Amino acid sequence: MEMVLLFGLLFLFIAIGMQVPLALGASMLATILLAMPLLDPVIVAQRAVGTMARAWPLLTIPMFIMLGEIFKVGTISQRIVDVANILVGRLPGGLAIVNIISSYFFGGISGSASADTSAVGGVMIPLMKKEGYPSTFATVVTITSSTLGPIVPPSVLVILIAWVTDQSVGTLFLAGYVPAFASMLGMIVLSMIIAARRGYPRHPTPPFGKAVRIVVDALPILVTPFIIVASIVSGVVTIVESSVIALIWALLIAAFWYRELKWRHLWTILRNTVATTAFVGLLLAFAAAFAWLVTFSGLPREVSQAMVAADVGPVGFLLITMVAFLVLGTFLNAGEIVLMAIPILFPTALTIGIDPVHFCMIAALSMVIGNVTPPVGLCLFIGCAISGDKVEDLVRPLIPYVLVMIGVIILLIFVPDVVLWLPGLFGYSPQ
């Protein structure tokens, strides 16, 4: 009964427009006062502050947020686009494929779907429209490929999942490469089919000498994600130390190699970093208390017992999890879903015998689709703001790309080795 009241109030507060962190806090306090009189409401603050004080891996979040803000300055995203054009521009629908690959590369820097949409979309949507691609197609390709950002390391979403599930950040980073690559390939194949049927143009590849200069010029950007992941996996530094190294590297190449980062940019970078970090921090604090209250109620144990009794098996449970996250993603962002749903579902996954890394990646891939689904898909609205399209005009062209993403998730559910192969090469033993 207490959990019905808790979740009912939470969704009610969200529905009336309350910010999610405040909705979490208000629903917890109301539930404790109305239905759990033996608990002191002060425990909400104790759990929120106490958990955050011990959560040292979360120190990486402001670092990676600032890293993404730095790389949004100047023409860094244009350089990534130019490298992708060398690789695939000559194929049918070349600019669409360039768009998708650019999102994969940029996702390895920003770790954010919305940053990916704004940075890559700001370059690619006008360019695709200029080359004769329909505006809706250009926007859909941009926003769906932006969902690769939270999967390709380094990823703020993956760091949150690792924190909530007590898994190795380095292992989850490694587990993200192949699933993101599979999603990218699915989008590329779909784009090529659509382009061939509709006669969309190819984009010329630059001469060899110019291509070499473009690649060399972009190398400092392209190696950034590998510096982060390699330093963590090798054990040379911790995840927090790697984020500091990456931030210093970004500052150096943006200010001195490309000479595009100026003093006037620092205020905007710091302001955006502080604003985003403050929101995320408040969300994490209240969500930690929320997760404790849910666990205290015994709900995760009841869910586990129900799933075991239903005998859905690992595949059935992962399919149910995927559908649940797809539904939640229509009105919550991925970070909110992690903090509210993972503490309930993760213990059940372990009870059923699902590998924790496999579960975490299926969860992440399912959540990020919410970035492009109405009514609250952030990337959907950013893309529309760039292109000038209406949301309702994007629904039909969006469906095939969403189906491709869901198809990749289903493939990974049935073939967990696709997720676990790369971590296994670095010593991870599936459980």
Tell me which residue of 337, 366, 281 sits closest to 11, measured CA to CA. Answer: 337
Average pLDDT score over residue span 379-389: 79
Q: Could you report the per-residue pLDDT of 92-107, keeping only the tens digit for each?
A: 777 788 788 878 877 6
3-state SS assignment for residue 168: coil
> Is 80 exceeded by the pLDDT of residue 57?
no
pLDDT tier at 307, thresholds 50, 70, 90: low
Average pLDDT score over residue span 408-430: 87
Quote the CA–CA distance of 421 and 428 in Å, as a whole number. 9
**Which of 33-42, 49-58, 374-383, 412-421 has the largest mean confidence?**
412-421
Tell me what pLDDT residue 10 has. 79
Quote the CA–CA distance of 271 and 380 in Å, as a whole number. 24
Quote the CA–CA distance of 169 and 57 in Å, as a whole number. 9
- Characterize 179-207 residue by residue with b for buried, 16 or more Cβ atoms within 10 angstroms of its Cβ, and e for exposed: bbbbbbebbbebbbebbeeeebebbebee
Average pLDDT score over residue span 406-422: 92
Average pLDDT score over residue span 187-213: 82
Q: Could you report the per-residue pLDDT of 257-298, keeping only the tens digit for each?
A: 878 778 887 888 888 888 877 777 777 777 777 777 777 777
Tell me what pLDDT residue 74 has. 64
- Specify the higher pLDDT residue, 136 or 11: 136
Residue partners of 243: CB distance under 8 A and separation at least 6: 59, 60, 63, 64, 67, 154, 228
pLDDT tier at 158, thresholds 50, 70, 90: confident
Tell me which residue of 353, 362, 341 sits closest to 415, measured CA to CA. Answer: 362
Tell me what pLDDT residue 356 has. 92
- Specify the higher pLDDT residue, 354 or 275: 354
Report the chain's mean pLDDT, rounded to a whole number.
79
**Which of 16-25, 203-212, 273-282, 397-406 has the largest mean confidence?**
397-406
Tell me what pLDDT residue 415 has. 92
Quote the CA–CA distance of 423 and 431 in Å, as a whole number. 12
Quote the CA–CA distance of 159 and 137 in Å, as a whole number. 32
Quote the CA–CA distance of 230 and 226 in Å, as a whole number. 6
pLDDT tier at 190, thresholds 50, 70, 90: very high
Q: Which of 30-39, 70-79, 207-216, 365-374 is the least confident region?
A: 70-79
Percent of the chain with pLDDT over 90: 8
**Which of 8-22, 282-296, 359-373 has the largest mean confidence?**
359-373
Q: Could you report the per-residue pLDDT of 136-157, keeping only the tens digit for each?
A: 888 898 889 888 878 887 777 8
Percent of the chain with pLDDT over 70: 89
> Is 70 exceeded by the pLDDT of residue 6?
yes
Tell me what pLDDT residue 403 has. 93
> Is 70 exceeded by the pLDDT of residue 109?
no
For helices 263-297 and 42-54, what crossing angle results, to 10°?
120
Tell me what pLDDT residue 413 has. 94
